[in-house]
Structure 1
Amino acid sequence: MSLSSPTAADSMRVPPAAARTYKDAIAALNSLQSNFASIEAYRKLGPSVDRNQLSIDEVYEYTRRLGYTPRDFNKLNIIHITGTKGKGSTCAFTESILKQYLNTGASGSSANITKIGLYTSPHLKSVRERIRINGSPINESKFAKYFFEVWDKLSATTSSPEKFPTLQPSEVVKPMYFKYLTVLSFHVFLSEGVDTAIYEVGVGGHYDSTNIIEKPTVTGISSLGIDHTFMLGDTIEKITWNKTGIFKKDVPAVVSEQVEHPSSLDVVKERAVELGVASLEIVDRKLLPSDTRLGLAGDFQKQNAALAVKLSTIHLQKLGFTDLPKFNEDGSIEELNDKFIAGLEQVKWDGRCQKILNKPGFEGISWYIDGAHTLESINVSAQWFKSEQKRAPSTVKRTRILLFNQQNRENADLLLTKLYENISTGDAPLPFDHVIFTTNITWSDGKYNSDLVSLNTSKELVDSLTIQKNLAQTWSDLDQKHKHNARKHIFHDIETGVNFIKSLTKSPELGEVDVFVCGSIHLVGGFLVVLDNEKDQ
C-alpha cells in the first residue's frame, strides 16, 4: 500500500498503546510527509486565503488542542535562531557553551540551568537528533511515548470547521511532518522539565512553525542568502523581511554581519524598529579573540561562533549568571572565560565540514563531509575542501573523488557548477579524478533506513536516475570547457557508491584517496549510516 494513499497517510492505524514501538512512531511520522487529507484541504482553499498565515495559525491550534498556550513556552527560556547558512552551527555552538553552565548556579542564587533542549533540523541518521536534551537525542522509548501522547490527544480533540477548514475531520488530519515535530518538541521539553531551549527555525521565520514563541530570551540571525525563493521571495530584501519575523517586542536581537548581502542589514534595522526589539546588535567575526580555537572546521565558523557567544551571553545574563565574557566598548571580547572557551572548543556538529580519516574497513580513505545545499553554503564548503587539500602533503599521490546528490532543488545544476568553479578552476585548480552521482536511497537493495525515508521526492525521477544523469552531463560539459577529464559514475544508491570508492583503494597507484561528500543533508545522513553499517534490523 502506498504511503501517499488516503488510507495510509490520514487514517494511520497505529498499534494498541501497550504495543507501540519507536518503529511504529517513525512509520506514523513518515506518513505525514505526504498527508493526503491536509494537501487536499489546502487545494480547496480559495485564492483569497493567506496560506502562510493559516499554516502558522494551525500550529497555535494544535498546541491549544494539546492543552498549551504560547505563554506556557516562556518557561523554556528559548533562544530562537534563523538564517540561511550557519544557523545549525550557531545552535550547536550555543548549546555547547550553555552546557558548561549546567547545574553550576551558586547556592541561594536563582541563576541555574538543569536541562537544555535543542530543536533543530534536518536530521542526519535519526529523527531523534532533532529533539535533544543536554546534547543527546532523546532515546527511542521517550520518543515513542511522547509521539503517541501527541498523536492520541490530537485524535481525541476537535477544531472549529469555520476557523480551521483545513483541519477537518479533526480526528483524522494531523500536522505535516515538520509541523508535527515542532509541536512534539514543545511537549517533550515541557514534560521533561527543560529550563533552557534553543530553537532553530525550519524555513524563513515569520511563518515558520517555530514562530509561535511569544517571549524568547534573545533572537539571532546568521548569514543570509537566496534560498527557498518559492516560499520566502526572490530578493534578499523579501527573504530578510521573512527571517526577521522572529524578532519580538522588548526582546534583544543579534544579527551576524552580512558580508555577502550587506543591503539586508537595512531591512534588519527597519524591522527591528517596526517590531520593537529591546536592542539590535550586529556581530562581526572579529568580535572573537584571534587565538580562539573552535571545535568545528572551516574559517567561516568564526562568524557563527561569534554570534553564539553574544546570544549565550545575553541569555545567561537574563538568567542571572555573572561568570561571563568581558567585552570592550566597541563590542569586541576583551576576555573569554573558561566556560565559553570550553564550549567553543568542545562543540560537535556531524555532517558539517566533518573529516573522517582511515576509518576501520576504509583504510587509505579520507572523507570530507558537508551537507551544503545552498549556493552560499556550497561556496564555503568548497573553499573548506580546497583549503584542506592544499594542506595535504604534496609528496603523496592523491586521488580526488566527489560524491554528490541534490534530489530536491530546482537549481541542482547551479549548485554543482558553483562547486566546480570553486575547486576545479582558477589559479590553482584541483580537478577530481572520479565524480559519483547517486540518489539518496540508502542501501543497494533499494531500501532506506526508516528514519531516512523521504516521500517528498518523485519516485519516477529517482528510479530513472534522471537528475543524476543530468548532473553527470553538467560535469562533462564543465570538464570539456576546462580541459579536465574526470571519470563519471552514476549509482542507484549510496551503498553502491561507497563500495565503489572502497574498491578503488585496491589499486596502489591511486595513492591516498580523498572523497568530498556534499550537496545534501539527506545524502550525508545516508552516507554516514552506510559508513557505520547501521542498517535497520
Structure 2
Amino acid sequence: MSTFSGFKLTLDKIYALLKHANNPHLRLSAIHIAGTNGKGSTSAYIDFILLKSNFKTGRLNTPHLCEPRDSIRINGVPITKEDYQKTYSIIKTIDSNHNIGASLYELLVATAYWWFDAQRVDVAIVEVGVGGRLDATNVFDSPILSIITSIGWDHEELLGNSIEAISKEKAGIMKPDCKVIISPQIEEAAMKTLKNCAIEIGCSHSICVMPAKWSSQKIGYASLELLDSVPIEFHVPLLGDYQLNNTATAVTAIDLLRKTEVRFSKITDDNIKDGIASTRWPGRLQYIDVSSILGNSVTEKLLVDAAHNPQGAKLLRDFIDKLLQKKDIQKVHWIYAATRGKDVRKCLDLLLRDGDTMIANTFSKVEDMPWVNCCETEDLVTWTKELNREINISTAKNLVDALQQVYGRYEKEGGVVVMSGSIYLLADLYRLLEINE
C-alpha cells in the first residue's frame, strides 16, 4: 500500500465502488497498458487500428488534457459533458451511499468502466495512471492483452528507487494465462525484470517487441516484421524516433490478437496501415500555430511536448538536436513549467544548452486533481542557474506574456521555439487557442 497525493494506493475502494455499480469491468474486453513513457500514443495507435477495423472502442487515458471528460472516449471521441456529468453522478452517488470514500481518480476510472459497459464497446483500451499493480485501473482478471511500454524513472516515491522495483510495479498488470506485449526498453534491467515477471506470473504469450525501422526510400514511413516474419510498411504521423517503438508495440499487439483470437482475425494489413496513419495524439512533438494570439506576423509554429520526466526530456532533446542540425541553427527558446514533485532539475539538465533562452512559467489549477501543483517560477530560475550554463532566463506573468517574450526573442535571434515540462501547461495553451482534441 502506497500513499499518493493524499490518498492510499490500494485496490480496496475501486473494487467496492465497482461492485456496487454492478461490476461493469467484468463485461469489458480490456487491453491494459502500463509503462513510464509511450502509453498514450501506443493506446491511440491501437484505438485507431481497431476503429479502421470496424470495432467499437472505449479508451481511458489519464491525466486529462483540458477537462476530466477528455480522458474517456468512445470511438476516439470524448464523452459529452451531459453524459459525463450523468454517469459521474451515478458513480458519486454509489460512493456516497456506501461510504466508500473513493478518490477522484477512482471515481473517474469507475465512471469510464460504467460508460464503456453501458455503450457496449467491443474493446476497452485502458491506460494505467500510476504504476500498475495498485493502480485503480488494475481490476481485470483476464485482460485480452497487457502491454508494458518503455520504463524509466518516475514516481520513485511510490514505485521504488530502482528500475527493477519500478518494473515490478508496472508488471503488476500482467495476469496468469493472459498475453503480454513488452515494448523495446532503454533500460536493460527493465527488460530483464519484465521477462522474469511474465514467466513467474505464467503469461500464455510473452512477446518482446523489436523496434520498427525508418524507410530509407519514403520519408515518414517505417517498416516492421510481423510475428510470421512478413514485413509491413506504414506511414507514421507522429514525430520522434521513439514512435518506432510505440508503433511497433501497437502493430505487434494487434498482430498477436488477430492471430490468436477469432474475433480479431478480420483485421487486415490495410486496417493496420490506415489506423496508424490516421492516429492523433496531442501534446507530443506537435507543432501549433499561435498566430491567433500574437498576430499573423508570427510564422514560426510552436513545438510542444509534454516531456515531464528525465526519459521524456532526453527523447525531446534528441529530437531537437537533430532538428537543429537539419536546419543548421543552434538556439532554442523555451517556455517551461513543471509539476512539483517531478525530477525537474534532471529534466532541465537534459534539455538546456549554452545559448538557450528560457521563460519560466506556471500552469492553471488542474480540475479534479487538487494534488497537482506547479513549481514556482523562482525555483525554476534557481535550478536553471545552478546548471552554470549561459542561459538567458526570465519569468512570465502568464502564458500570453510568455509567448510574447519568447517570440520577441525568436524574431531577434532566430532558432526554434519549444514549450515543454508539463501536460498541464500545454492544456492552458489548448484552452487559450480553443483547441478541442
TM-score tier, shorter chain, comes to 0.7 to 0.9
Change (3 A) 1:150 1:241: same
Counterpart residue type for residue 340 of structure 1: I
1:487 aligns to 2:392 (yes or no) = yes
1:150 aligns to 2:80 (yes or no) = no
Change (3 A) 1:436 1:353: same
Q: How does 1:383-462 map to 2 (within 5 A)?
A: 383-392=318-327, 400-420=332-352, 424=353, 431-432=355-356, 434-441=357-364, 452=367, 454-457=369-372
1:272 aligns to 2:227 (yes or no) = no
Query: Counterpart in 2 of 1:5?
Result: none
Q: How many angstroms apart in 2 are the aligned matches of 1:410 and 1:189?
A: 32
Query: Counterpart in 2 of 1:57?
Result: 12
Q: How many angstroms apart in 1 are the aligned matches of 2:342 and 2:293?
A: 36
TM-superposed CA distance for 1:389, in Å, is 2.8
1:97 aligns to 2:49 (yes or no) = yes
For 1:182-234, what per-residue CA distance to the aligned partner results, in whole angstroms no more than 9, with x for missing partners? 11111111111112110001111111101001211111111111211111111
* 8 A Cα contact 1:219 1:311, kept in partner: no
Q: How many angstroms apart in 2 are the aligned matches of 1:404 and 1:319?
A: 48
TM-superposed CA distance for 1:436, in Å, is 0.5
Query: Counterpart in 2 of 1:243?
Result: 170
Q: How many angstroms apart in 2 are the aligned matches of 1:279 and 1:358?
A: 47
Query: Counterpart in 1 of 2:401?
Result: 496
For 1:104-123, what per-residue CA distance to the aligned partner results, in whole angstroms no more than 9, with x for missing partners? xxxxxxxxx2x200001111
Query: Counterpart in 2 of 1:328?
Result: none
TM-superposed CA distance for 1:155, in Å, is 2.4
Q: How does 1:116-131 map to 2 (within 5 A)?
A: 116-131=57-72
Counterpart pick for 2:36 among 84, 89, 107? 84
Query: Counterpart in 2 of 1:295?
Result: 237
* 8 A Cα contact 1:401 1:515, kept in partner: yes
Q: How many angstroms apart in 2 are the aligned matches of 1:399 and 1:360?
A: 24
SS in 2 for 1:182: helix
Query: Counterpart in 1 of 2:425?
Result: 523
Query: Counterpart in 1 of 2:281?
Result: 349
TM-superposed CA distance for 1:383, in Å, is 1.3
1:205 aligns to 2:132 (yes or no) = yes
Structure 1 vs Structure 2: percent identity of aligned residues?
25
TM-superposed CA distance for 1:385, in Å, is 2.2
Counterpart pick for 2:251 among 305, 309, 321? 309
Change (3 A) 1:208 1:454: closer
Counterpart residue type for residue 352 of structure 1: R
* 8 A Cα contact 1:174 1:180, kept in partner: no
For 1:110-152, what per-residue CA distance to the aligned partner results, in whole angstroms no more than 9, with x for missing partners? xxx2x20000111111222100000111111111111111122
Give the aligned CA root-mean-square deviation in angstroms. Answer: 2.5
Counterpart residue type for residue 399 of structure 2: I
SS in 2 for 1:401: strand
Query: Counterpart in 2 of 1:19?
Result: none
Change (3 A) 1:75 1:359: farther
SS in 2 for 1:198: strand
For 1:324-375, what per-residue CA distance to the aligned partner results, in whole angstroms no more than 9, with x for missing partners? 46xxxxxxxxxxx211111111111000111124644442232111111111
Q: How many angstroms apart in 1 are the aligned matches of 2:51 and 2:211?
A: 22
* 8 A Cα contact 1:452 1:526, kept in partner: no
Q: How many angstroms apart in 2 are the aligned matches of 1:324 and 1:410?
A: 40
SS in 1 for 2:430: helix
Change (3 A) 1:232 1:527: same
State the aligned residue count.
413
Q: How many angstroms apart in 1 are the aligned matches of 2:65 and 2:45?
A: 18
Change (3 A) 1:526 1:280: same
Q: How many angstroms apart in 1 are the aligned matches of 2:204 and 2:148?
A: 15
SS in 1 for 2:168: helix
Query: Counterpart in 2 of 1:138?
Result: 79
SS in 2 for 1:365: coil
Q: How many angstroms apart in 2 are the aligned matches of 1:276 and 1:453?
A: 38
TM-score (norm 2): 0.87
Counterpart pick for 2:118 among 191, 198, 202? 191
* 8 A Cα contact 1:357 1:367, kept in partner: yes
Query: Counterpart in 2 of 1:467?
Result: 376
* 8 A Cα contact 1:128 1:138, kept in partner: yes
CA radius of gyration, larger in:
1
* 8 A Cα contact 1:123 1:130, kept in partner: yes
